[in-house]
Amino acid sequence: MATDLMPDAAPRAVTVYTTGPACVQCMLTESLLADLDIPFVECDITRNENSAARDYVVGDLGYTRAPVVVVDEHDHWSGFQPDELKRIAARFASRS
């Protein structure tokens, strides 16, 4: 994912790695992202074609629960974290 060179600048969109529609925390995260007007791309890591993404989330980032929200290479977390989503909303709002 491409990011701006300034450390506080927002990327074009965040990536939400999910485990599909049965994941309540994933759905809550995506709903709040939409409510906060934060652009995002969803990637269901349970799908076979997304095995590289699954390896990235589990192997490289070390997360074992969904959702995993990746803002940029230094800003990411797992689980439904409303305060984190509100924090990044300010970064996206400053781009307008």
What's the pLDDT score for residue 93?
Answer: 84
The answer as to whether 54 is a domain residue is yes
The answer as to whether 5 is a domain residue is no
The CATH number covering residue 61 comes to: 3.40.30.10
Each residue's pLDDT expressed in tens, for the chain with a length of 96 residues: 333 334 455 578 999 999 999 999 999 999 999 999 999 999 999 999 999 999 999 999 999 999 999 999 999 999 999 999 999 998 888 765
Write out the two tokens for 74: 């230094």
Domain with 67, as residue range(s), is 15-93
The answer as to whether 45 is a domain residue is yes
Q: How many domains does the chain have?
A: 1
The answer as to whether 50 is a domain residue is yes
The answer as to whether 3 is a domain residue is no
What's the pLDDT score for residue 9?
Answer: 57
The answer as to whether 74 is a domain residue is yes
- pTM listed for this prediction: 0.86
Half-sphere exposure in the Cβ direction for 12 (13 Å, CA):
4
The answer as to whether 29 is a domain residue is yes
